[in-house]
Amino acid sequence: MAPVREQPGDPEAVRLANGFLEDVIAELARFPEFEVLSARTSLALTKEELHPERLAARFGVTHLLDSAIVPSPSSLRVRADLIEVPSGVQLWSQRYDVPLRELFAVQDDVAARVANHLKGHIHRSRLVRAKARPVTTLEAYDCWLRGRACLAQGTITADAEARDLFERVLTLDPSYARGYLGLSLSHFNEWSCQLWSEWETSERLAFEYAKKAVDLDDTDHLAHSVLGRVLVYRRQYAPARRHLERAIALCPNDADCLAQVGFWYAYLGEPETGIAMTEKAFRLNPLHDEVYCVYGAIPYFVARRPKDALALVERAPPNLIVDQSAYIAAAYAHLDEMAAARRHFAQFLGIFQQKITFGRVPDPDEPLAYLLHVNPFARPEDAAYLADGLRKAGLTSAPREGAYLPARSTEAAAFALDPAAGTWSLTFAGKTAQIRDMKGCRDLGLLLSSPGQRFHVMEIAGRVHEGDGGAAMDGRARAACQRRIQELEDEIADSEAKHDLGRLGKARAELEQVTDQLVAALGLGGRARKLGDPVEKARTAVTWRVRSALKKIAEAHPELGRHLGVSVRTGTFCAYDPEREVRWRLTM
């Protein structure tokens, strides 16, 4: 980003220009697909060094943001130009007018809007170039972009083409999380709305690949958002919420992510949070894709605001998603506009027969069964609100149980210790195996006892020998930690009340860090620990124990090893988030 041009001789304009440059760079740096030169480097470059050809040769720069700030007595005009490097072609230009009285309130917002505009234009320009080149010459990121474009077509053939591109990504860079993310998205398409005969396989692969992406890059907000979405559709709402919150905390101003996560929050039963995200997404990206209008309408509908939902969804072309006209029909029905409701319900039946039953006339109970499958409402009253609207619009029958939602496995499984023999008996998927007793099995037993719950490693590891290094934290420091914990808990409560997920995520992350410090410093009864007993020591020990146990389990019982391998997460906090429902009988 070039230094922002301002009126010469005006110290206030210089301060504003430098602050704006730093804000935009900070926002762009939140997007993991971008590498942005630091503000210090940008400010140090001379006019000659900012020439596109020299930037490309010296730093490998592909795009340059040139901007200017022009103040007036009552407002501030910000102009931003995106230039392709090294060609020097201007790809985009935008002006933003900000009233001076609102400057400090909206400065971050303007920077976020610029970042979102840049992201969209850079992606589009790079995708155009990538499509013109043979696949064998593409870099990993270009394959990712082309694969995403294929997924947007929404067909089985395009999904297969996308999968080939994502597999090439992993051939080029096996550690690139976006490759696994793309594979998850391709299987999600087939799971949620295409290949019903492969439902269980597509569901499992969508989950496993999304989890692999998060494991490879826990800082990628898109990985967390996709895993969160998969978990929403699997009706695993608590872990889904954690990953969606993490996505927003990592990148609170990605408009595309906000639009989709707001949609999924409606399914979680928090439509007001979804509406707040939707409104922010529209504000940050006014030149948004048309599908924003469909995503954004769902939270309004779930909030029992059908008029607002219609005002938004009818700005989009018809049938961007299969159930779009069904929501429109239900919204009109709740407003007692029955002619429009029946018309749109008839449109839904037509698109349903075309896209879902592939020309076959659906049974009377199929449409609603499908809708209740692909709209995974956490609250029964939200599903009932949709169904009631459709009945008013002309639906005549209830869904057949399980028509589009295969029964989930609730098979009995056992994880039992025989102290006398010193062995564990493991029963899963109809097979039983034994392994010798290990500490890692006891750790796993604790996680299996509470699916979805996060356990701190200190809770799992127990007290560790303190040594003689002296107190790790004196009384004054402990009191400061405890005060900060109370402040953060108050901030979390306030953020939740105001639906400010960006602030909420930061507060929770800091709370976790401060709590780690306090837990590491305190023994039983609040007594001070000694130096040499960090949480990292417990994390390393627990991770090693659990992984060793998983390896032995996989050797003795491969199917259970696979299940635990994709469902157990280690780290400072450990958890068992099962890929499917399992009813465990535990003996420890």
The model's pLDDT over 535-575, given as tens digits with 9 standing for 90+, comes to: 778 888 899 999 999 999 999 999 999 989 888 988 888 88
Percent of all residues in the chain with a pLDDT value above 70, rounded to a whole number: 81
Q: What is the separation, in whole angstroms, between the first and last Cα of the chain?
A: 59
152-172 pLDDT tens trace: 887 778 888 989 999 998 998
Residues 418-451 have pLDDT tens digits of 888 889 999 998 899 999 999 999 999 999 988 8
- Token duo for residue 334: 């709740």
- pLDDT, tens digit (0-9, with 9 covering 90-100), for 314-367: 999 998 889 999 999 999 999 999 999 999 999 999 999 988 888 889 888 889
* 240 and 211 Cβ atoms separated by less than 8 Å: no
Closest alpha carbon to 506 in 514, 38, 273: 514
In degrees and rounded to multiples of 5, residue 431 shows phi and psi of: -125, 145
Q: What pLDDT is attached to residue 192?
A: 57
Neighbouring CB atoms inside 10 A of 453's CB total 15
Q: Which of 3, 1, 7 is nearest to 34 (CA)?
A: 1
Structure tokens at 516: 């780690």
Q: Please report how many Cα atoms fall inside a 13 Å half-sphere around the Cα of residue 483, on the Cβ side.
A: 6
Backbone angles phi, psi at 524, to 5 degrees: -65, 145
Identify the CA nearest to 255 among candidates 222, 224, 277: 277
What's the maximum distance between 2 C-alpha atoms anywhere in the chain?
85
3-state helix, strand, coil in the chain (%, to 5): 60, 10, 30
List, as one string, the DSSP characters of 89-132. Answer: -EEEEEEEEEEGGGHHHHHHHHHHHHHHHHHHHHHHHHHHHHHT
Beta strand 573-576 with 455-456: parallel, antiparallel or unpaired?
antiparallel
What tokens appear for 393 in the block? 């619009």
Alpha-carbon gap, residue 299 to 280, rounded angstroms: 13
Contact 25, 36 (CB under 8 A): yes
Helix (DSSP H) and strand (DSSP E) numbers for the chain: 24, 10
381 membership: H or E segment, kind and range: helix 380-393
Tell me yes or no: is domain 409-464+533-588 CATH 1.10.10: yes
pLDDT confidence of residue 240: 92
User: String of b and e for 110-119 (b: at least 16 CB within 10 Å)?
Assistant: bbbbbbbbbb
d(CA 531, CA 172): 44
Q: How many CB atoms within 10 Å of residue 553? A: 26
Across the range 41-48, mean pLDDT stands at 84
Please, what is the Cα angle at 542 between 237 and 430, to 5 degrees?
60
